[in-house]
């Protein structure tokens, strides 16, 4: 009991928040800079208005970092590294080449953030990117959060343990709960009430190990002054609830993506408040609380009624369930429903849902403000504090994409707009990370300034910090990237390649949107300039990543005109030309696979090996690998309507999955030409579904370490494919 009390006190909301934990700050500096730690001195700084603040100055040969908490200290460190040492830390390339003698800060630097909250993560990120992370990977991510000023991360790892204790205390057996918990790659949609049990049964070893992992995550985040957002009860109950409580008011709901119904306890049922209270009590006992609770009752599920009184009462009851367990509770709501189901959520319905909760007890996340700022059509969420977020990536798809000019100015302009009401923060709510690092560096540039980012100046700094050069050709290259892949026009999110789509004669396939937001030929000059820089000796980690990524994008784009060539040959019944172009299409996939094998960022092997490492026996390893394979291919079963939603241009996946599908498709078409008979498209569709499901259940091994040298392979493919763009 004494140990439990100590743990609770250690994890409580007041721990280190608003105060500087000196030891935690020094430890972060040591993890980031290792041997250079001794050159920095950490000191506390008092905040004047509750917003984070830092100072940087030199004293002798030391750099003094002052801040009101660990996140402010980390941000001060990153400011110094960027502005004085021209360094950079991203998921995809890091430059920490510090000068032998650290540059002095001649005039004291002082910064105060205009944003009380800097939010981080989307429920989906926890599966599309983070499912298989261990503590070592989480430790790096939390440091990245702090360096970039994040102070309000969503923290939902290990929540199955909370659910397990709550429902066990209510008399549910392990067998009954086995039909409730999803597999580890699908917990985000389980947490949001979209599905039950898919990908399971979830082993108890996973539930317990991730409870322990969550404790470490929260301890580190709180040491650095962050206030993690934990979940609250929204009514989602096990299917077995109907039999155990026959008088319960339960409504079935369906996500309409090929999964069975889930069950929501009506907020009018007295058990709703009881379970909501119990859930937060158990969660607080396990993980402590910072009084911020995420709850999304109707995530891509339409309410049973659009009556404003019904919606108002529902919202009030959900909040009341939080308040009964924690009088300081603040409801953090994703605003995605107002974007994804705007036909239902009119002004009257939105106002009713939001107004039922006191203004100071709810925070709204404008989840995709760079795509469509919902705050502009909801009177700034009717008086609630809200956060401007950039979503940018859907499903973990691999592509170059972003709305660079808009992200550079929109948060600051919104903050200055008198119509923006109680805008209180900025954030990142991508469905997946570890791609397009430029967009996330750009977005978090806003943390310590209230004016729009001057994008031309910022890109020059980005080039210097990432590549350790002021090469104007690379600055030109980035201006081309800004006007092409990062112009953010015409399409909602990044275009994919037809290569990753289920084989078809069409230019697009389901969940494989190939429409570009630029003319593919306009990207080529940037490729040329990067190749020139490579020939001139630019060779940082970030440069190698970017060179591979741009080369990948150019090759992925080339698949489209190449597809048109073999489609025309097939329609013309020209077997010779069809065979020629279809072979070139397959060769293109092999070439992309070989290129991407040079970077761990673009490999299937690490994804699968990190999954199986969690397994304690052969059965668990097989379950986790099946989850890992399924999410990024079919998503569900063989008939899943979500197949390819989370497609990835990864080495291993290209050769072993996408390429093999295309080979089978081409064989079918070639046979139809040979026999002069119609192609059996329906038969192929059924056959390939079964083949895909067999692939999901396989356990063949893939390399988890890179092979080949990135620049050399990229240069080889440049010389091979660059002339093909001249021939179009």
**pLDDT of the residue at 689:** 97
Q: What is the CATH number of the domain that holds 627?
A: 1.20.120.670
Residues 183 and 90 in one domain: no
Mean pLDDT (the chain, rounded):
94
Kindly state whether residue 213 falls inside one of the protein's structural domains: yes
Instruction: Please give the C-alpha separations between residue 277 and each of 4, 69, 105, 168, 333, in angstroms, as whole numbers.
Output: 20, 31, 52, 15, 18
Predicted local distance difference test score (pLDDT) of residue 1 = 43
Residue range of the domain that includes 320: 154-357
Residue 15 has pLDDT above 80, yes or no: no
Percent helix, strand and coil across the chain, each rounded to 5? 50, 10, 40
Same domain, yes or no, for 51 and 186? no
Q: Of 80, 112, 144, which marks where a domain is finished?
A: 112
Cα separation, 510 vs 169, whole angstroms: 44
- The pLDDT > 70 percentage for the chain reads 97
Residue 50 in any domain: the answer is yes
Same-domain pairing of 341 and 435: no
CA distances from 572 to 576, 621, 664, 673, 677 (A): 11, 49, 20, 10, 14
260 and 406 together in one domain: no
**pLDDT at res. 13:** 37
Assess contact for 113 and 448: CB atoms under 8 A: yes
Hey, is 667 helix, strand or coil?
Answer: helix
Taking 50 as the threshold, does the pLDDT of residue 652 lie above it? yes
Q: Does any domain span residue 548?
A: yes
pLDDT in tens, 73-128: 999 999 999 999 999 999 999 999 999 899 999 999 999 999 999 999 999 999 99
- How does pLDDT run across 589-646, given as a tens digit for each residue? 999 999 999 999 999 999 999 999 999 999 999 999 999 999 999 999 999 999 999 9
| Residue 512, pLDDT score | 83
- How confident is the model at residue 100, as a pLDDT? 87
* Per-residue exposure over 211-241, b if at least 16 CB sit within 10 Å of its own CB, e if not: bebbbebbbbbbbbbbbbbbbbbbbbbbbbb
CATH at residue 337: 3.20.20.80
Extract the runs of DSSP E, i.e. beta strands, from 395-454. 423-428
- Together in a domain, 182 and 296: yes
How are strands ordered across the β-sheet holding 362-366? 152-153, 117-120, 423-428, 386-390, 362-366, 330-334, 292-294, 230-231
Q: Cβ neighbours of residue 619 under 8 Å, at least 6 residues apart?
A: none
Q: Over the stretch 557-573, which tens digit does the pLDDT of each residue have?
A: 999 999 999 999 999 99
Residue 9 has pLDDT above 60, yes or no: no
Within a domain: residue 58?
A: yes
Does one domain contain both 126 and 79?
no
Report the distance separating Cα 596 and Cα 552, nearest Å.
8
The proportion of the chain whose per-residue pLDDT surpasses 90, expressed as a percent, equals: 88
Q: Which residue has the higher pLDDT, 696 or 308?
A: 696
Kindly report which listed range (253-267, 408-422, 667-681) carries the lowest average pLDDT score.
253-267
Structure tokens at 366: 């404008």
423 and 522 inside one domain: no
Beta bridge partners of 230: 293
The answer to the question of residue 334 being in a domain is yes
Indicate yes or no: pTM above 0.85: yes
149 lies in some domain: no
Domain edge (last residue) among 320, 340, 357: 357
Q: What is the pLDDT at residue 18?
A: 53
Question: Residue 493, class by beta-carbon neighbours within 10 Å (0-12 exposed, 13-18 middle, 19+ buried)?
Answer: buried
pLDDT of residue 8: 40
Q: Are residues 387 and 264 in the same domain?
A: no
**pLDDT at residue 4, rounded to an integer:** 42
Overall number of domains in the chain: 4
Same domain, 182 and 203: yes
**Average of pLDDT values for 320-337?**
94
Do 247 and 263 reside in the same domain of the chain? yes
Q: Which of 347, 268, 259, 331 is nearest to 301 (CA)?
A: 259
Mean pLDDT of 283-300: 91
Contact 405, 367 (CB under 8 A): no
Among 153-162, 295-304, 441-450, which stretch is predicted with the lowest mean pLDDT?
295-304
3-class secondary structure per residue, 457-492 = HHHHHHHHHHHCCCCHHHHHHHHHHHHCCCECCCCC
Name the DSSP letter for residue 331. Answer: E
Mean pLDDT of the region 188-205: 96
d(CA 201, CA 626): 12
Indicate whether 466 belongs to any domain: no
- Element at 554 (helix H, strand E): helix 541-571
**CATH code assigned at 102:** 3.30.379.10
Please report whether residue 675 resides in a domain: yes
CA dihedral 374, 408, 521, 554 (to 10 degrees): -90
Whether residue 721 is found in the same domain as residue 591 = yes
- Cis status of the peptide bond prior to 201, with omega within 30 of 0: yes
Alpha helices in 288-431 (DSSP H): 308-325, 336-340, 347-355, 379-382, 404-416
Does residue 253 sit in the same domain as residue 120? no
- Domain boundary, last residue among 341, 357, 373: 357
Contacting residues for 509 by C-beta, under 8 A, at least 6 apart? 498, 501, 502, 503, 644
Nearest Cα neighbor of 65 from 51, 80, 52 is 80
The mean per-residue pLDDT over the stretch 408-413 comes to: 98
Q: How confident is the model at residue 387 (pLDDT cuts 50, 70, 90)?
A: very high
Give the confidence band of 728 by pLDDT, cuts at 50, 70, 90: low
């Amino acid at each position: 009991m004494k140990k439990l009390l100590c743990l609770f006190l250690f994890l409580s909301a007041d721990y280190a928040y608003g105060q500087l934990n000196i030891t935690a700050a020094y430890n972060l500096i040591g993890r980031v800079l290792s041997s250079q730690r001794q050159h920095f001195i950490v000191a506390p700084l008092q905040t004047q208005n509750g917003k984070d603040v830092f100072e940087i100055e030199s004293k002798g040969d030391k750099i003094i970092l002052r801040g009101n908490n660990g996140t402010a200290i980390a941000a001060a460190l990153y400011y110094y590294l960027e502005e004085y040492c021209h360094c950079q830390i991203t998921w995809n390339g890091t430059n920490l080449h510090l000068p032998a003698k650290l540059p002095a800060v001649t005039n004291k630097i002082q910064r105060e953030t205009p944003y009380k909250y800097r939010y981080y993560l989307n429920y989906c990120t926890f599966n599309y990117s983070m499912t298989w992370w261990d503590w070592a990977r989480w430790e790096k991510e939390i440091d990245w959060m702090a360096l970039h000023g994040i102070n309000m991360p969503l923290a939902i790892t290990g929540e199955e343990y909370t659910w397990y204790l709550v429902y066990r205390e209510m008399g549910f057996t392990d067998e009954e709960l086995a039909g409730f918990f999803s597999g580890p790659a699908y917990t985000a949609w389980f947490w949001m009430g979209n599905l039950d049990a898919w990908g399971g049964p979830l082993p108890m070893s996973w539930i317990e190990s991730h409870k322990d992992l969550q404790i470490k995550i929260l301890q580190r985040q709180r040491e650095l002054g962050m206030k993690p957002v934990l979940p609250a009860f929204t009514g989602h109950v096990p299917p077995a609830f109907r039999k155990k409580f026959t008088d319960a008011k339960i409504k079935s709901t369906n996500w309409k993506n090929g999964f069975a119904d889930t069950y929501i306890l009506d907020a009018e049922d007295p058990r709703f408040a009881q379970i909501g209270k119990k859930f937060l009590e158990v969660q607080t006992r396990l993980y402590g609380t910072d009084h911020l609770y995420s709850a999304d009752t109707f995530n891509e599920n339409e309410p049973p009624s659009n009556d404003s009184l019904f919606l108002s009462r529902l919202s009030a009851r959900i909040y009341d369930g939080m308040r009964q367990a924690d009088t300081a509770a603040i409801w953090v709501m994703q605003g995605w429903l107002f974007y994804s189901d705007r036909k239902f959520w009119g002004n009257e319905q939105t106002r009713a849902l939001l107004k039922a909760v006191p203004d100071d007890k709810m925070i709204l996340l404008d989840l995709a403000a760079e795509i469509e700022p919902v705050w502009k059509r909801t009177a700034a969420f009717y008086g609630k504090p809200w956060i401007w977020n950039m979503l940018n990536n859907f499903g973990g798809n691999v592509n170059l994409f972003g709305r660079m000019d808009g992200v550079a100015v929109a948060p600051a302009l919104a903050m200055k707009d008198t119509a923006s009401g109680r805008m209180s923060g900025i954030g990142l709510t991508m469905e997946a990370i570890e791609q397009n690092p430029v967009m996330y560096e750009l977005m978090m540039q806003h943390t310590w300034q209230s004016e729009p980012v001057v994008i031309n100046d910022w890109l020059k700094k980005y080039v210097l910090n990432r590549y350790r050069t002021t090469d104007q050709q690379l600055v030109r290259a980035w201006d081309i990237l800004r006007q092409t892949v990062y112009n953010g026009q015409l399409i909602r999110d990044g275009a994919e390649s037809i290569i990753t789509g289920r084989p078809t004669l069409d230019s697009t396939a389901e969940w494989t949107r190939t429409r570009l937001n630029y003319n593919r030929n306009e990207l080529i000059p940037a490729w040329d300039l990067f190749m020139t820089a490579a020939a001139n000796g630019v060779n940082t980690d970030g440069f190698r990543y970017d060179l591979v990524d741009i080369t990948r994008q150019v090759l992925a784009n080339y698949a489209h005109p190449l597809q048109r060539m073999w489609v025309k040959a097939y329609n013309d019944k020209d077997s010779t030309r069809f065979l020629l172009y279809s072979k070139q299409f397959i060769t293109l996939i092999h070439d992309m696979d070989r290129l991407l094998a040079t970077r761990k960022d673009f490999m299937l092997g690490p994804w699968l090996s990190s999954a199986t490492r969690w397994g304690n026996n052969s059965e668990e390893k097989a379950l986790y690998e099946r989850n890992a394979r399924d999410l990024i291919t079919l998503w569900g079963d063989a008939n899943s309507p979500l197949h390819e939603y989370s497609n990835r241009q990864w080495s291993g996946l290209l050769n072993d999955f996408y390429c093999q599908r295309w080979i089978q498709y081409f064989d079918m078409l070639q046979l139809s030409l040979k026999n002069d008979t119609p192609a059996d498209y329906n038969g192929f569709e059924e056959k390939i579904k079964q083949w895909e499901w067999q692939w999901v259940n396989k356990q063949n091994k893939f390399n988890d370490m890179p092979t080949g040298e990135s620049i050399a392979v990229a240069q080889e493919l440049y010389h091979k494919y660059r002339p093909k763009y001249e021939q179009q």
